[in-house]
Structure 1
Amino acid sequence: MENILIEKQDNIAVITINRPTKLNALNKATIQELHDGFKALNEDKSIKAIIITGSGEKAFVAGADISEFANFSVEEGGKLAAEGQALLFDFVQNLSTPVIAAVNGFALGGGLELAMACHFRTASTNAKMGLPEVTLGVIPGYGGTQRLAQLVGKGRAMELIMTAGMIDAETAKNFGLVNHVVTQEELLDFTKGIASKIANNSSVAIAKAIEAINANFEDGTNGYEVEIKNFGLSFGTEDFKEGTTAFLEKRKAIFPGK
């Protein structure tokens, strides 16, 4: 891994995008490494939650690496978006391990799209977020037009995308784009605290909940039906047996993750 760092501690993994001289911009190599890193961590059953953040004090991810696609054709542009969405952005959204974005600075373009693909977001007080693609004569291509509208509403998404405007962390919180805002010094520890609470719960049940919640945003999928199915499937898990037994015995559950 040349562009990302992975640290594991106490059932929590932290992925740090490590291209500080490029403000952690996403190039093809970084997208591939992120895919590989998320895939490996998702397969590691000791990891119960993943945090993704950026190196340095300026940026989470300042955008995509424009130099890689400035001369692309129509076909190449479409392929870039399709492959990127499949390899990273949709992949993260549908990961069965919870992913939290700790937005520690600028999250612009592909950076905000990556943060929005995560299951939820925390931010530092100095964070700035936006989708400035129209200033380049292009639109967000890594799910930004869809996820921003889902998170903040159609009208706000329209305005932010059409004006190419940036919002600060408090505004992002008020819009529902991020859940919490803390100082940059507190951000990682604060986010780890949330991840620790997640890690105490049933990873099997959480994976089923992620699938059910995401189903509400899929065309042709009835989220209520997915919820009913996954609720029923939960009864066949070892985690359900442990959770209910622990409750009845008035003790803390120790989930096997099965």
Structure 2
Amino acid sequence: MAYQLIEIERRDKGVTWIQIDNPPANAIGKELMQELEEAVEELTHDSKTRVVVVASKNSKIFLAGADLKGMISGSSDLVEDSIADNFIEKESARMQSCFQKFQNMPKPVIAAINGYALGGGCELALACDFRLMGGGKIGLTEVSLGLIPGAGGTQRMTQILGRAKAMEMIFLAKKIEAKEAEKIGLIHRAIDRDNFEEEVTSFSEKLAIGAVKAMGLAKKAINATDKSLSEGLKVEARAFAETFSSDEPSIGLAAFFLKQKANFLEG
């Protein structure tokens, strides 16, 4: 389909890039969220797409936060405080739902961060499976505005960093560069900005030649860790059984017994 605010680029080995292009600042709004959700739907059902990379056409900004002026303006048009609060809550839930689709996508998703990822930009990156970062800074800075993260940031940052570090990052509205983000585990890898695209490509292709169907099922089980242990184990068992519905186990096991490296890309 035709997109206005993103570009879909299919590259080698089943790696597909979603390039966000919403000038001037890549702000997240209803139209962009709609296109991102449609892209997730399209690429989920695209058998040739094995790995998804979320990137930005803006060299300085990965993704800006929500349109706060529009949110405030929309709520101010409503008379009763309870109705206004409900409007803002729905706007928050709308962003949460959009970003959750990337977390639920049954394929590996990489956030390629080569610019500022603050507020909503950080929250989208946290919803991806991997975060590779070159330039810019990353952080949840909403408290500096008297707000809190509202697109899943309080939940995902706590899961990734732990309660103590998440509270430090959020309460102090810290903005950190790639090396520090890698050190505390907020991103997976700080990479050279000059070779950013090449390193992202190398990492994504390494995933793409693997058993991506099994990765998707493992992701489903990992996502279930926020449930009770017993429920999470049930999801894992169902996902384990589902791996045998694809040809990946036969490819992997055959290669194992032949003492060869499995080639899932041609499966």
Same fold (TM over 0.5): yes
- 1:57 is displaced (CA, Å) by 1.9
Partner of 2:131: 121
Q: How do 1:122-161 residues align onto structure 2 when only pairs under 5 Å count?
A: 122-124=132-134, 126-161=135-170
- 1:144 is displaced (CA, Å) by 0.3
Q: How do 1:52-91 residues align onto structure 2 when only pairs under 5 Å count?
A: 52-71=54-73, 72=75, 73-86=84-97, 88-91=98-101
Encode CA deviations 1:163-209: one digit per residue, 9 max, x unaligned: 22211111110110111111222222211111111111122211111
* Aligned counterparts of 1:120 and 1:203: Cα–Cα separation in 2: 14
Partner of 2:114: 104
12, 18, 22: which one pairs with 2:15? 12
* Aligned counterparts of 2:246 and 2:18: Cα–Cα separation in 1: 30
Superposition TM-score, scaled by structure 1 size: 0.92
Mean alpha-carbon deviation: is it higher for 43-52 or for 53-62?
A: 53-62
Paired residue secondary structure (2:210): coil
Paired residue secondary structure (2:227): coil
Q: Mark the runs of 5 or more structure 1 residues left unpaired by the alignment.
A: none
AA matched with 2:46: D
* Aligned counterparts of 2:72 and 2:229: Cα–Cα separation in 1: 35
* Aligned counterparts of 1:122 and 1:201: Cα–Cα separation in 2: 19
- 1:256 is displaced (CA, Å) by 7.3
* Overall identity of the aligned pairs, in %: 36
Describe the shift of the 1:250–1:117 C-alpha distance in structure 2 as closer, same or farther (beyond 3 A).
same
Q: Mark the runs of 5 or more structure 2 residues left unpaired by the alignment.
A: 76-83
Describe the shift of the 1:75–1:56 C-alpha distance in structure 2 as closer, same or farther (beyond 3 A).
same
Residue 47 (1) aligns with residue 45 (2): no
The count of aligned residue pairs is 255
* Aligned counterparts of 1:43 and 1:239: Cα–Cα separation in 2: 18
Q: How do 1:196-215 residues align onto structure 2 when only pairs under 5 Å count?
A: 196-215=205-224
Paired residue secondary structure (1:14): strand
- 1:219 is displaced (CA, Å) by 5.4
* Aligned counterparts of 1:39 and 1:3: Cα–Cα separation in 2: 16
Describe the shift of the 1:36–1:156 C-alpha distance in structure 2 as closer, same or farther (beyond 3 A).
same
Describe the shift of the 1:221–1:58 C-alpha distance in structure 2 as closer, same or farther (beyond 3 A).
farther
- RMSD over equivalenced CA pairs, Å: 1.9
Q: Report if the CA contact (8 A) 1:173-1:181 is conserved.
A: yes
Q: Report if the CA contact (8 A) 1:203-1:257 is conserved.
A: no
- 1:75 is displaced (CA, Å) by 0.8
* Aligned counterparts of 2:264 and 2:192: Cα–Cα separation in 1: 33
Superposition TM-score, scaled by structure 2 size: 0.89
